[in-house]
Amino acid sequence: MRTPCPKIVILALIAIGLALVACADGRPRETGSPAEEPAAGGTPTASIAGGEPGQGPAVLPAGAAGQISGNSRLTPEEQNTIEIVRKTRNSVVFITNLQYVRDFFYSSSEAVPRGSGSGFVWDEQGHIVTNFHVIDEGDKFMVSFPNQKQIEAALVGRDSSRDIAVLKLKESVPGLTPVTVGTSRDLQVGQKVVAIGNPFGFDHTVTVGIVSALGRSMLGAGDVTIRDMIQTDASINPGNSGGPLLDSSGELIGMNTMIATPSGGSIGVGFALPVDTIRKIVPQIIQFGKVIRPDIGGIQFVRDEVAQRAGFIGAVILEVTQGSRAYQQGLRGLTRDAYGRLLVRDVIVAISGTKIKSYDDLFNALDGYKIGDTVTLTVEREGKTRTVEMQLVGGGGSD
């Protein structure tokens, strides 16, 4: 038998070898293959997609992931908000309004919660500023601090027309942190604001927003319009009333006061009393127990809703005290005719050139004057107009 040709055997072996090499190159490669072995005495290297060759990922020690999710990832805006909260943490308080209720036989009484709200520390003497409607009809007031300590406070005074009240702690509290009082004079629509309060009883809740509008007018708790209010989209809910509205430097620019909502619910547009109004009123309440405003003196006015239903435009005079300067100047209130019907005598329609369409207008216009200023009243009576010079006196204080 003849043996195969050595050349054929060699060619066959070469073909088999090439086939094996082709099979090896065609196998799918695994992703994430292990890093190359380091050279002797060297360090491991790896390639990163899109990175420089030889620059591997940093090796994080245990717990480093938690560190990265901390302050290093906070934006400057977040850091600013946190700093404001830290700065004012001990300046914001929770106020509980208690009312004494007698039992069926009137033999004993018990203090029951009537409502709650927020407030802020005004000075180191323990004065707390809040809204009038937070403490309205209350007999006892408890002030809670962030450390959950409760201290009873006494009512110093209130101004219902501007929805402001001042309490004073009955105990000395070391380390009180008064809020830093700013100004609302130069506020800009769109600037950042932070509201802090106790909505729905959840103490020290923080919301962030912007100044949505300025110069708003809203009917306050005293049935007169509060003007120049700050509108904000920072969430203000029941319980936020009386809390501070702060700017990005942590300064007080307003007091969260009310919500306007068409549905009557708890969610709507928030409004804050401007701090420049608070700065005028609070020191007077602390000093005198009430606000002493410029006033015409000796005159009582018909309620606006009554005057408007009767078709009158202006501040309708109800009664003038005999012997007062207004009485001496000939101003008169309502009178009755021979049939007993009430007749309107004098209606104030302007003050020093500023038109007056209601008592509300007159009340707010007087806020722009000082005690002792002389004003010119334009008065209508039975279709005839005359002017009366009046020097403003101290009065018009709220209860």
Q: Two tokens at 54? A: 């030889």
Q: Is 88 left (phi over 0), alpha (psi -120 to 50) or beta?
A: alpha
Confirm whether 187 is domain-assigned: no
Looking at residue 12, what is its pLDDT?
54
Residue 71 CA from chain centroid, whole number: 27
Same domain, 303 and 391: yes
205 & 273 share domain: yes
- 299 with 275, same domain: the answer is no
Residue where a domain stops, chosen among 116, 137, 169: 169
**Pair 218, 277 in one domain:** yes
Is 276 found in the same domain as 197? yes
Displacement of CA 338 from its chain's centroid (Å):
55
Do 317 and 231 lie in one domain? The reply is: no
Query: In terms of domains, do 312 and 283 share one?
Result: no
The total number of structural domains in the chain stands at: 3
The answer to whether the beta carbons of residues 220 and 175 sit under 8 Å apart is no
* Structural domain includes residue 282: yes
> Are 313 and 332 in the same domain?
yes
Query: Where in the sequence is the domain holding 138, given as residue range(s)?
Result: 92-169
Does residue 200 belong to any structural domain of this protein? yes
**Closest to 285 measured CA to CA, from 138, 147, 128:** 128
In the structure encoding, which two tokens stand for residue 297, read together?
């003196």
* Residue 295 among the catalytic residues: no
3-state secondary structure of 107: coil
* Number of residues that make up the chain: 399
Is 276 marked active-site?
no
Please indicate whether residue 248 is annotated as part of the active site: no
Question: Of the listed 118, 160, 235, 241, which one is catalytic?
Answer: 241
**Owner of token pair 């001990």:** 90
| Cβ pair 274, 253 in contact under 8 A | yes
Interatomic CA distance for residues 312 and 306, integer angstroms: 9
Q: Is residue 86 part of a domain?
A: no
* β partners of residue 192: 210
150 lies in a domain? yes
279 and 315 part of one domain:
no
Token pair for 375: 């004003």
Last residue of one domain, picked from the residues 288, 312, 341: 288
Rounded Cα gap, residues 62 and 157, in angstroms = 59
Question: Among residues 91, 161, 163, 203, which one is catalytic?
Answer: 163
| Within-domain flag for 54 | no
In a shared domain, residues 348 and 330: yes
Query: Could you tell me if residue 327 is inside a domain?
Result: yes
Q: Report yes or no on 42 lying in a domain.
A: no
CA distance 325 to 390: 8
Note whether 262 and 298 are same-domain residues: no
Which residue in the list 116, 127, 133, 295 is annotated as catalytic?
133
- pLDDT tens digits in sequence order for the chain, 399 residues long: 444 455 554 555 555 555 554 544 544 444 443 333 343 344 333 332 333 333 333 333 443 333 334 566 899 999 999 999 999 989 999 999 998 887 666 666 677 778 889 999 999 999 999 999 999 999 999 999 988 889 999 999 999 999 999 999 999 888 889 999 999 999 999 999 999 998 877 878 999 999 999 999 988 876 789 999 999 999 888 889 999 999 999 999 999 999 887 665 556 789 999 999 999 999 999 999 999 999 999 999 999 999 999 999 999 999 999 999 999 999 999 999 888 888 999 999 999 999 999 999 999 999 889 999 999 999 999 999 999 999 999 875 555
Residue 159 belongs to a domain with what CATH number? 2.40.10.10
What's the pTM? 0.74
CA distance 361 to 351: 10
Examine the domain organization and report whether 128 and 218 are in the same domain: no
CA–CA separation, 85 and 146 (whole Å): 12
Final residue before a domain boundary, out of 288, 303, 337: 288
Q: Let me know: does 333 contact 261? Beta carbons within 8 Å.
A: no
CATH code for the domain of 330: 2.30.42.10
Contacts of 21 (CB under 8 A, 6+ apart): none
